Amino acid sequence: MKRFTLILAFISFSLSAQKVSPVYPIPSAKQLAWSDLEYYGFIHFNMNTFTNVEWGEGKESPASFNPSALDCNQWVRIAKAAGMKGLILTAKHHDGFALYPSKYTDHSVVKSPWKNGKGDVVRELSNACKRYGLKLGIYLSPWDRFHPAYGTDNYNQVYANMQKELLTQYGQIFEFWYDGANGEGPNGKKQVYDWKLFHSMVNKYQPNAVQFSDNGPDIRWVGNERGYSYETMWSPINKDEIYPGYPKFDDYRQGQENGSHWVAPEVDVSLRPGWYYHPEQDKLVKSPDSLMRIYVASVGRNANLLINIPVDTRGLIHPNDSAALMGLKSLMNTGLRSLRNKTDGIQVSSSMKGYGSDKLYDVSPRTFWAANVSDKSPRLTWSLADSRLVNAIQMQEPIALGQRVKRFEVKLVDQDSRSEVLQGHTIGNKRILTFKARKLKSIQVDFLDARGQVLLSNFDLLYLTSTHNESLYH
């Protein structure tokens, strides 16, 4: 009862919504707000940008860091134009070089020639995000190949002190990103990280921020860096069984149907083969078409999407990267536009009073159609008033009340009465099911198995296109 009351404090359901029981676990208010973001950016810009490597060794001279035209406003303008809701910055990578004037390391912008040692990249990005209305996130690698205390008990407090600087000096943080890297090879230093201490710092100073690592505590890694989630993807997971760097993490990539905690997945992928800028990769930026497919395979499979933008040595986003993001936004503007028609007919096998099928197309993710509790195989039939070209359907569950659907089946009937049956598994925050484009006259969805009563907050028809204005899925 306590957990349900907590939900109602944050979610605007009608009074009658109390009749619908949650299926645990359920997201916290900050986890739910994070899921609403869906898509945001990662900025890899640090010492590695100037040394042209992916992982520095901590021996690099601070004199190497000297961007000639750094402009965080440019980063934010491009990110916002691309539809991103926030940016996460690598405030310190594994080499230990800090992009801000930390009191707890001698390896930072203070020792660089950039702005005569008085610069602060985190400050500039924070100000730019506030100026343009984007959220700010922080990446702070626990691994530090420079700091002399690394590998000792004292280092954990050093890291916590750096956390406090970042969490208290730059305004509101929406996400704190840990990296599980640890050690410098078989003969290098190893650190036993005090995760309890690290998590407590964020909870104390930024209680509304979600924390990312293998097992959360709030959001988790999807398990690859290629830009896709999985056909079956559960937000619940048995969090107490795993930890950052857990050797059998592959077993948890898809979450767990009966997991004990809500720890939703995040997909991270770079615009380029590398995470940092390398001039030889200027012509290897992902195309808008590939980025759109990544969006569908991540956000469209119950995960949030974090796209990395490697900023160049000038301190600017390269035109090729910007063009790719603008192309993606153009495809999103056209492809994610609803093809529903007000004259379409919709039938459901059952519905609770106050939770009728009209809730499926009122846009709000908080209102929903609810099948009767006794309806163990709910059916939804969408009849199109006129046949139209479709290559995807989009569905959402009201995840504030838990993730439920385990298996569903979609029957497509085209204008010539030919039919095809597609199989689906989980839905969660959003599921985009793609297929070969065709002119449809009806869609039937059968929910074959679920963790409790079937609830659905949104149902949409989509036509996803390529940059050549052709179907993205053939």
pLDDT tens-digit readout, 131-157: 999 999 999 999 999 999 999 999 999
Nearest Cα to Cα of residue 24 among 448, 456, 404, 430: 404
Do 152 and 103 form a contact (C-beta atoms < 8 A)?
A: no
> Residue 310 — pLDDT band, cuts 50, 70, 90?
very high
Question: Domain range holding 288?
Answer: 38-335
pLDDT tens-digit readout, 422-467: 999 999 999 999 999 999 999 999 999 999 999 999 999 999 999 9
Mean pLDDT of the chain: 94
Looking at the fold, whether 326 and 378 belong to one and the same domain comes out as no
> How many domains does the structure of the chain reveal?
2
pLDDT tens-digit readout, 356-387: 999 998 888 889 999 999 999 999 999 999 99
Report which DSSP code applies to 104.
T
Looking at the fold, whether 306 and 379 belong to one and the same domain comes out as no
Looking at the fold, whether 169 and 51 belong to one and the same domain comes out as yes
pLDDT(221) > 70:
yes
- Which H helix or E strand runs over 456? strand 455-456
Looking at the fold, whether 325 and 407 belong to one and the same domain comes out as no
pLDDT(120) > 80:
yes
pLDDT(12) > 60:
no
Helices (H), 172-216: 195-205
Position 215 scores a pLDDT of 83
Position 186 scores a pLDDT of 59
Beta bridge partners of 420: 412
Position 364 scores a pLDDT of 86
Which of 316, 335, 354 is the endpoint of a domain? 335
Instruction: Indicate which CATH number applies to the domain containing 258.
Output: 3.20.20.80
* Across 298-324, average pLDDT: 98
pLDDT(29) > 80:
yes
Position 8 scores a pLDDT of 47
Do 299 and 263 form a contact (C-beta atoms < 8 A)?
A: no
Looking at the fold, whether 364 and 410 belong to one and the same domain comes out as yes
pLDDT tens-digit readout, 153-191: 999 999 999 999 999 999 999 999 998 788 766 567 889
Looking at the fold, whether 158 and 269 belong to one and the same domain comes out as yes
Looking at the fold, whether 109 and 229 belong to one and the same domain comes out as yes
Looking up tokens 């969006």 gives 295
Looking at the fold, whether 190 and 263 belong to one and the same domain comes out as yes
Beta bridge partners of 440: 388, 414
Per the domain annotation, does 255 fall within a domain? yes
Position 185 scores a pLDDT of 63
Per the domain annotation, does 468 fall within a domain? no
Per the domain annotation, does 20 fall within a domain? no
Instruction: Indicate which CATH number applies to the domain containing 370.
Output: 2.60.120.260
**How far separated are the first and last CA of the chain, in Å rounded?**
48
Position 182 scores a pLDDT of 83
Per the domain annotation, does 9 fall within a domain? no
Which of 312, 335, 358 is the endpoint of a domain? 335
Position 184 scores a pLDDT of 65
44-64 CB burial, b ≥16 within 10 A, e <16: bbbbbbbbeeeebebebebeb
Beta bridge partners of 414: 440
Looking at the fold, whether 95 and 236 belong to one and the same domain comes out as yes
Looking at the fold, whether 97 and 155 belong to one and the same domain comes out as yes
Q: How far, CA to CA in Å, does 309 sit from each of 91, 286, 321, 358?
A: 15, 11, 7, 40
Looking at the fold, whether 304 and 432 belong to one and the same domain comes out as no
Looking at the fold, whether 159 and 138 belong to one and the same domain comes out as yes
Position 214 scores a pLDDT of 85
Position 187 scores a pLDDT of 62
Q: What percent of the chain has pLDDT over 70?
A: 95
Which of 300, 315, 335 is the endpoint of a domain? 335
pLDDT tens-digit readout, 71-100: 999 999 999 999 999 999 999 999 999 999
Beta bridge partners of 432: 394
Position 10 scores a pLDDT of 41
> Residue 195 — pLDDT band, cuts 50, 70, 90?
very high
pLDDT tens-digit readout, 48-74: 999 999 999 999 999 999 999 999 999
**Tokens found for residue 235:** 């937000």
C-alpha 316/C-alpha 323 separation (Å) is 13
Per the domain annotation, does 270 fall within a domain? yes
